[in-house]
Chain A
Amino acid sequence: MKQLLALKVNDHPGVLHRITGLFLRRGFNIATITVGACEEPGVSRMTILLEVADERVKDQVRKQLAKQVDVLEVEDLTERDAVTRELCLVRVEAPLKMRSDLQSLIQPFRAQLIDVGFETVVVEVTGSPAKIDALLDLLRPFGVLEIVRTGLAALPRERQTGNGRAALKEGRGVEV
């Protein structure tokens, strides 16, 4: 089963190493891990997607992480409502005469071309991993040359107190 974790960690050298080292040692299997600055100076946010055997392991992962001195917060987003995104760049073979086909294909994905050459283009897409997989499937027939994916970044949604409709009216709490 999957486990999605959002961490705040000290932005010190070696912290990523500390965490991946912990996973290696304890036999936890990382699917993706992303790290970057966050709203607080000196603190980074990590999003980790794991493949775990069962609830026990899930619990262990959380506790082992929380125990690290450099880990400031651990939030398990697996069961929570969260927005998750992944960025993917993909270089596709696209001779000039194919370009408009390609354009119309990627448009519904809100993907865009961010580099254009004579023979190839680079498509940028963000979204859920499933959406990215779907787009990649569509692009394969063109000839996919290179793919790079960032892994998930995630944030919990605002906890909605009123009913959903009121939130909608105010334009709150809607995935856009």
Chain B
Amino acid sequence: MSFEGPEGARAEALSPDAAAPVGTEAPEGGSSGREGEPQPEPPPVYRGADLLVEVLKEEGAEMLFGIPGGATINFYDALYNSGIPYVLARHEQGAIHAADGYARISGKVPVVTGTSGPGSTNLMTGIANAWFDSVPMVIIAGQVSTSVMGTDAFQESPIFSMTMGITKHNYQLMRGEDMPRVVKESFYLARTGRKGPVLIELPKDMTSNEIPYRKPVEMQLRAYNPKPKIDRALVEKVKRDLARAKRPVIVAGAGIVHAGASELLRAFVEKARVPVVHTLLGLGTLPSDHPLSLGMGGMHGTVWANMALHECDFLLNIGSRFDDRLTGALEHFAPRARIAHVDIDEAELGKVIAEDYPIHGDAREALEILLDGAVDPSPSEEWLAYLESLRREYPLWYRTDRPYLQPQRVVQIASELASDDVIVVTDVGQHQMWVAQFFRFRRPGRFVTSGGLGAMGFGLPAAIGAQIADRDALVLAFVGDGGFQMTVQELILLREYDLPVKVLLFNNNSLGMVRQWQELFYEERYSATLFNIQPDFMRLADAYGVVGRRVKTEEEARAVLEEAFRTRAPYLIEFVIDPMANVLPMVPPGNGVHEMEGVKPQ
């Protein structure tokens, strides 16, 4: 546990060395059926809340994010001396996005709690976010007592059915005896196979009742197989056919990050001489300046990445689910290619594209097989030279003809000044795409963004979680003025938990990404996208006790970023950017990825 709490009232709850919960010795019971013992000893009995804390500890739950309430008050009471630190957010959405950022950086499974009714409904966006991006977490959603469930009791909401479609699995815990098993299964499901959020609906009486505890607990996951046996022969066939392809390309998705297989990817592509298109969440699997990295493909991808997708004759997708933001119009996607797809989730195979080589398995295992033995380089030098020529002819660009600070420039400067192990977090919108385009990612697994759901409000809390997971890293949170205001209240956590996050706020006085679409596709009819009035962000920084800086020029940008990066304090840096800056190039909706607009300055 590297988490250190601040001094004061909360320090006790945050201290990892605090005493064990009163009245709960380490559970030992259940040694039933031992020889010479006619009667098994009755199992020890715990208050449900204490038992829950014990089993959470057994599962290695090290960090808890949430807000308490009536339905979870017993649980929080049991936490009081438990040594499990918690982060008290200011909104449940903040708590769960923080847990999300924590999970992505630490690789651990955080616990998120919300009380019954509004507490758990406030978690919904964060649950869906974790679901879409396969982020492991266990959510404990309080519920009214079983005796009044279903009566529309005070603060009741049908959280079990509400979250069925956005969790990997969920449980309604109706019998205390099931608690140890359910918690154990939840952690196991969250962190194995295709990772994801698992929710436990916890009626209040489950925390107040006395529960007998028998150990060990058998899991009842009879049909669940997180480690599918990969079709080795098929992967070997992919290897052979890839080596023969004239215009091969690899699509690197988040599955590689989840499998911790970025190094293997790099080793393989260097030997096989295959260029790599990254998905948004796959950015960083190769360093951005690696000669075989084509950057991001898709709607706001680079020209050379998208032409690689369009003109390839062999496409190997490892760990991406062919999201429509990547593929563009499907009828134009990789029209001449044989397609191989490795995915840990069998249901992703054939979902979007009918692959020629559907490979059900882990990205790491697939890459190990690909690397096994000699790797023949594909005859692709001409192909690489062609893509390189596109890179030279159509580089990413931004406007230089306007008297405003260009956001892309800010991203570049931040990227230049940042250390290699920087953690980059974004919210959702134009700034997210500028970061994806212009930031040079140097290490894998250090880019935290809301990919699948695209949830505004994600950035600041996720950065908080990321910084908690890695206290020493430089954490940059790029946010737009719109999304920032959705979870702005979490700023106080930077002070409370001593988190030196640098918030880089791109103020364009609008919901920029939507405004861009209105400009390009709706005849500049800016319906509900321009902010008429904004808060004074500098006074806001002041109010929350973080350092505030307002920046209007490139020179100021550099100076302020330098200052912020060397200061161990939280910063809110407002960049007053060109209000008309757009994310280009762009594949207009409905087009194939080769039909991009804005590839060159007008």
Contact = CB atoms under 8 A, between A and B. Distances in A.
Interface stretch (A66-74, A75-83, A98-106, A142-150): A66-74
B351 A72 contact: no
A21 B168 CA distance: 14
B164 A18 contact: yes
B169 interface: yes
B222 A66 contact: no
B346 A21 contact: no
A70 B161 CA distance: 15
Contact of A69 (B224, B349, B354): B224
A157 interface: no
A56 interface: yes
Contacts of A13: 172, 174
B172 A72 contact: no
B347 interface: yes
Chain B: number of interface residues, binned into ranges: 20 to 34
Nearest to B353: A56
Interface string B157-195: 000110011001100101000000000000001000000
A13 B158 CA distance: 13
Interface stretch (A57-65, A111-119, A122-130, A131-139): A57-65
Contact of B354 (A10, A56, A66): A56
Given A14-B172, A66-B346, A72 B164 contact: no
Nearest to B360: A63
A44 to B, nearest CB: 14
B589 interface: no
Interface string A1-36: 000000000100110011001100100000000000
Nearest to B221: A69
Given A14-B161, A14-B164, A17-B164, A67 B351 contact: no
Contacts of A69: 168-169, 189, 221, 223-224
Contact of B349 (A10, A14, A17, A63): A63
A60 B237 CA distance: 24
A69 B219 CA distance: 12
A10 B169 CA distance: 13
Interface string B346-358: 1101110010000
A7 to B, nearest CB: 11
Contacts of B498: none
A60 B351 contact: yes
B538 to A, nearest CB: 45
Nearest to A64: B347
Contacts of A71: 223
Contact of B350 (A10, A17, A60, A73): A60
B347 A72 contact: no
B160 A14 contact: yes
B159 to A, nearest CB: 12
B554 interface: no
Contact of B165 (A21, A60, A70): A21
Contacts of B172: 13-14
B345 interface: yes
Given A14-B160, A17-B161, A69-B221, A59 B169 contact: no
A67 B164 contact: no
B346 A72 contact: no
A64 B349 CA distance: 11
Given A13-B172, A67-B345, A21 B164 contact: yes
A63 B347 contact: yes
B434 to A, nearest CB: 33
A170 to B, nearest CB: 34
A50 to B, nearest CB: 16
A70 B174 CA distance: 17
Nearest to B347: A63
B223 A59 contact: no
Nearest to B224: A69
A59 B161 contact: no
Contact of B347 (A17, A67, A70): A67
Contacts of A25: 165
B324 to A, nearest CB: 15
A59 B164 contact: no
A86 to B, nearest CB: 28
8 contacts: A21-B161, A56-B350, A63-B349, A69-B169, A69-B189, A69-B223, A69-B224, A72-B222
Interface of A: 10, 13-14, 17-18, 21-22, 25, 56, 59-60, 63-64, 66-67, 69-73
Given A13-B172, A66-B347, A67-B347, 17 more contacts: A10-B220, A13-B174, A14-B160, A14-B164, A21-B161, A22-B165, A56-B350, A63-B346, A63-B347, A63-B349, A64-B347, A66-B223, A67-B346, A71-B223, A72-B222, A72-B223, A73-B223
